[in-house]
Amino acid sequence: MTHAMTERRTDAPTASPNIVHAALAVGGFAIGTTEFATMSLLPYFATDLHIDAPTAGHVISAYALGVVVGAPLIAVMAAKMARRTLLIGLMLLFALGNGLSGIAPTYGWMLAFRFLSGLPHGAYFGIASLVAASLVPPGKRSQAVARVMLGLTVATIIGVPVANAIGRAIGWRWCFGLVTALALLTALLVALFAPRDNAPAGNSALAELAALRRLQVWLALGTGAIGFGGLFAVYTYLADTMHAVTHASAGAVPFALAAFGVGATIGSLVVPRFADRALKPTAAGLLIWSAIVLSLWPLAAQHLWSVIVELFAIGLGTALGIVLQTRLMDVADHAQGLAAALNHSAFNTANALGPALGGAAIAAGYGWTSTGWVGAMLAIGGLVIWIVSIVTSRATQR
């Protein structure tokens, strides 16, 4: 598999690759803000919509379901569309879903609008990653993907606190208004700066679906779906753990979340440089790193300072998503769109699996910090799948 498989014939770009990457990253910032800020605003919209907290949690799940469903569906249905046109359309759909979420009159409508908002999420990141990679030399593809994903990690540091502050000060509905504005800005920036490409000759829904026949695609997706689950096992129950075990004040939680975001951002900037030189060892190293730091969570949770350090370390491991995105470019052949989008379906599968298993461990009486051991086991599970991928890839030299 060569870099040529990620390319598509384009007219001369109207801007440098860095400007195009920055424009695409704004979309990542918008997506990251709505995905994580909605969790922090749950008590506010639960009260306004007259539902309890567990029921309001279904709103979060509806968005994740939209991602899982939308990523492959849109990638297949839009197989013959030019990528620039598709990216603009995806951001307009994202703006519509979030705008409607901000005016949802009832719980039922809120569920529907959050599902709609999630539909373009995975397809946007997948196609944006392909566009970003097509503008740089083969040896810098992971770094190009990282620049797009940087918007997502920066959102955890800046976007989420700002949206949360807006939600608390003037109402949760304005948070979705902010995201809508960011999505419209992204659509405008893509229209202005992204290269004008042609619809792919000979591509079709059946050609995209061919990715599902490739073992290496499934192994890469499985690595993400299992290996990433450990992160969410700890992250989901962070506030409760810090209250019950660390005995930290509620005001300390945002600082802990910011430490995670800083780690994720630094990981996105540094790790891709190694991945562009040796992708397979880098992914294995990240999974080993995650297994080690997650296993330390029961000890780190005892003190606030160690919680901050631990969450920074856990955040570094999120760079695995970038590495796997590049891996899928290598093994998908002509089914680039579907494979790239499915990476985010796998990510959201992990988002469901990790909290479910972590919650089961807590409910079984193993304590709040048992999520760390659950996370470590999931990281090891992802490592096992990755090792299988490495061993089986030797036959095809991929």
- The domain ranges of the chain are 8-201, 204-398
Q: How confident is the model at residue 239, as a pLDDT?
A: 78
Please tell me if the domain spanning 8-201 has the same topology as the one spanning 204-398.
Answer: yes
What pLDDT was estimated at residue 139? 81
Q: Going residue by residue through the chain (398 aa), what tens digit of pLDDT does each one get?
A: 444 444 444 444 456 888 999 999 999 999 989 887 887 777 788 888 888 766 777 788 788 888 888 888 888 888 778 889 999 999 999 999 999 999 999 999 999 999 999 999 988 988 898 899 888 888 888 888 888 888 888 888 888 778 877 887 888 899 999 999 999 999 999 999 988 876 665 565 666 676 677 889 899 999 999 998 888 888 878 878 888 899 988 778 878 888 988 999 999 889 988 988 899 999 999 999 999 999 999 999 999 999 999 999 999 999 998 899 889 888 877 677 777 778 888 888 887 788 888 888 888 899 999 999 999 999 999 999 999 999 998 766 56
Question: What's the pLDDT at 91?
Answer: 97
Cβ 241 vs Cβ 252: under 8 Å: no
d(CA 292, CA 64): 28
pLDDT in tens, 124-143: 988 898 899 888 888 888 88
How many residues are there in the chain? 398
pTM score of the predicted model = 0.80
Measuring CA to CA, which residue among 86, 149, 56, 85 is closest to residue 343?
A: 149
Dihedral Cα 35, 57, 308, 259, nearest 10 deg: 10
Please, which residues bridge with residue 10 across strands? 197
CATH tag, 204-398: 1.20.1250.20
Q: Which fold has domain 8-201?
A: Growth Hormone; Chain: A; (1.20.1250)
Terminal Cα-to-Cα distance of the chain (whole angstroms):
7
Question: Do residues 355 and 233 touch, judged by C-beta distance below 8 A?
Answer: yes
CA distance linking residue 114 with residue 323, whole number of Å: 28
- How many angstroms separate the CA atoms of 258 and 383, rounded? 27
Instruction: Report whether 92 contacts 144 (CB < 8 A).
Output: no
The counts of H helices and E strands in the chain are 19, 0
Gap between the Cα atoms of 293 and 296, Å rounded: 5
What is the per-residue pLDDT for 29? 94
CB 288 within 8 A of CB 227: no
User: What is the C-alpha separation between 39 and 126, in angstroms, rounded?
Assistant: 24
